[in-house]
């Protein structure tokens, strides 16, 4: 695959080929895990089938059973799936491709269009684009119309007039620039800071629960009743989200604005088991295998709910004053937690937590009386009265 070509995406396939690819994935997951969904937590009724039960079969046995099942299909059905010549080795190859490329690793290469790219971008033009990008990154922001003559100038001065004739049209240069460097909609100072961070660091790969916990605070868009005066008040919602499992490991509601004490108590909640509350059924109890509930209950002194419990290694937060307060820093140092602030004006560093806020709002808060909307323009006529 060419260096400057875009990777294949599921959107490159038409609707019929997308369905065929997903059907291939379901067969592969059943052979690999025993479940067509890939997990026992999303098992379909009647699954797993006896010949694919992971508790009584090995991976080799499941693959051999899948080969026999697919070979027994009607030739027309097998041809539609593209598995007319299925074998054990084919399943091994499909598993490796699925692990490396995801869903598109299972798509037949004949289903996808030719790889996207630009054959008119030779090494001279590519070098010029990279050089102009590095130069304009440290200058004030300029348009693509200004960058085009700079590319021509670089090629002409470095490779000569003949090489300049090979430079493609402005439209192609603009598309290549967008593919390589993004839409360039950020402010120039933030683009420079992002480039500096990317040049000096490598991508963080999160491999286990508790490795990175993301903290963030937002005003709760629902009026709640004060338990003292029974009046509707506004509160802040502070979340702690495990970046590996995307589990909400703790949350707190703070009347008024949040404080460093509330954030410190949030870290405490992450590390301590959650007690069962009145009215909670057995489905809320401690469900984790390998660590009996009796052991956890003896340690905690009460029946324990099934919320993840661990000692976080790294905490990522924004630059709010409560997260940089000396009290919060001292608590983190005492607990052995590394505080790693997110980059300024980079919501993608906490994208999972931001998405969790949106999911909580759409799945729960919007259904409650007293919902005040995301801003004043979307506010109801009287959310305080609705809360009462």
pLDDT digits (tens, 9 = 90+) for 289-347: 778 888 888 888 888 898 888 889 988 888 778 888 888 888 888 888 888 887 665 66
Q: Which residues pair with 217 in a beta bridge?
A: 238
Helices 15-33 + 59-71 axis angle, to 10:
140
Torsion-angle region of 120 (φ positive above 0: left; ψ -120 to 50: alpha; else: beta):
alpha
Please tell me the class of the 212-272+309-387 domain.
alpha beta
Distance CA 133, CA 334 (A): 45
Tokens 């598109």 belong to residue: 104
CB within 8 Å of 239: residues ≥ 6 apart: 214, 215, 216, 217, 248, 250, 251, 353, 356, 357
Q: What is the pLDDT of residue 316?
A: 87
Q: What is the pLDDT of residue 1?
A: 43
Q: What is the pLDDT of residue 2?
A: 45
Distance CA 316, CA 211 (A): 11
Distance CA 174, CA 326 (A): 48
- Give the mean pLDDT of 17-26: 87
Reference 337, options 266, 273, 274; nearest CA is 266
Confirm if 387 and 225 have CB atoms less than 8 A apart.
yes
111 or 264, higher pLDDT: 264
Q: Please, what's the b/e burial string for 263-301 (b: 16 or more CB within 10 A of its CB; e: otherwise)?
A: bbbbbebbeebbebeeeeeeebebeeeeeeeeebbeeee
**E strand spans, 231-337:** 232-233, 235-242, 248-255, 314-317
Residue ranges of domains in the chain: 10-111, 123-200, 212-272+309-387
What tokens were used for 50?
Answer: 């006896």
Of all residues in the chain, what percent carry a pLDDT higher than 70? 89
196 or 46, higher pLDDT: 46
Q: What Rg value do the Cα atoms of the chain yield, rounded?
A: 28
Cα torsion angle, 248, 254, 258, 261, sign: negative
Q: What is the pLDDT of residue 347?
A: 63
What tokens were used for 338?
Answer: 């590394």
CB within 8 Å of 266: residues ≥ 6 apart: 215, 238, 240, 250, 251, 252
Global confidence as pTM:
0.50
Evaluate the omega torsion of the peptide bond into residue 48 and state whether it is cis, within 30 degrees of 0: yes
Mean pLDDT of the chain: 83
Distance CA 167, CA 169 (A): 7
| Secondary structure percentages of the chain, helix, strand, coil, to 5 | 50, 10, 40
Q: Rounded to the nearest 5°, which phi and psi values hold at 354? A: -60, -40
Largest CA distance in the chain: 82
Q: What is the pLDDT of residue 387?
A: 61
Reference 8, options 17, 119, 16, 348; nearest CA is 17
Burial of residue 224 (number of CB atoms within 10 Å: 0-12, 13-18, 19+) = middle
66-81 pLDDT, tens digit per residue, is 989 888 888 888 888 8
What count of Cα atoms within 13 Å lies in the side-chain half-sphere of residue 260?
14
């Amino acid at each position: 695959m060419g260096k400057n070509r875009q990777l294949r995406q599921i959107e490159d396939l038409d609707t019929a080929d997308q369905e065929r690819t997903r059907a291939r994935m379901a067969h592969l997951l059943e052979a690999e895990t025993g479940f067509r969904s890939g997990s026992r937590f999303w098992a379909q009724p009647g699954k797993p089938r006896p010949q694919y039960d992971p508790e009584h079969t090995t991976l080799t046995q499941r693959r051999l059973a899948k080969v026999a099942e697919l070979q027994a299909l009607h030739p027309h059905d097998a041809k539609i799936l593209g598995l007319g010549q299925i074998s054990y080795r084919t399943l091994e190859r499909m598993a490796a491709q699925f692990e490396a490329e995801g869903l598109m690793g299972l798509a037949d290469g004949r289903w996808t269009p030719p790889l996207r790219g630009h054959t008119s971008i030779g090494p001279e033009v590519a070098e010029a684009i990279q050089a102009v990008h590095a130069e304009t990154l440290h200058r004030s922001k300029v348009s693509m119309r200004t960058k085009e003559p700079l590319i021509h100038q670089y090629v002409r001065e470095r490779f000569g007039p003949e090489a300049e004739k090979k430079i493609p049209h402005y439209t192609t240069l603009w598309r290549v620039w967008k593919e390589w460097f993004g839409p360039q909609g950020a402010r120039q100072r933030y683009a420079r800071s992002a480039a500096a961070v990317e040049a000096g660091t490598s991508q963080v790969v999160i491999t286990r629960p508790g490795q990175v916990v993301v903290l963030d605070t937002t005003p709760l868009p629902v009026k709640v009743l004060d338990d003292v005066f029974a009046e509707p008040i506004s509160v802040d919602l502070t979340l702690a989200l495990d970046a590996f499992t995307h589990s909400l490991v703790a949350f707190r509601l703070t009347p008024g604005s949040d404080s460093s004490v509330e954030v410190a108590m949030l870290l405490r909640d992450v590390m301590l088991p959650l007690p069962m509350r009145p009215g909670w059924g057995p489905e809320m109890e401690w469900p984790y295998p390998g660590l009996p509930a009796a052991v956890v209950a003896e340690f905690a002194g009460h029946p324990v709910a099934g919320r993840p419990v661990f000692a976080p290694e790294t905490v990522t937060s924004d630059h709010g004053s409560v997260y940089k307060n000396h009290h919060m820093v001292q608590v983190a140092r005492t607990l052995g937690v590394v505080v790693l602030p997110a980059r300024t004006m980079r919501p993608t560093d906490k994208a999972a937590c931001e998405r969790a806020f949106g999911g909580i709002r759409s799945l729960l808060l919007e259904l409650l009386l007293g919902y005040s909307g995301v801003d004043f323009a979307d506010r109801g006529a009287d959310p305080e009265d609705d809360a009462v």
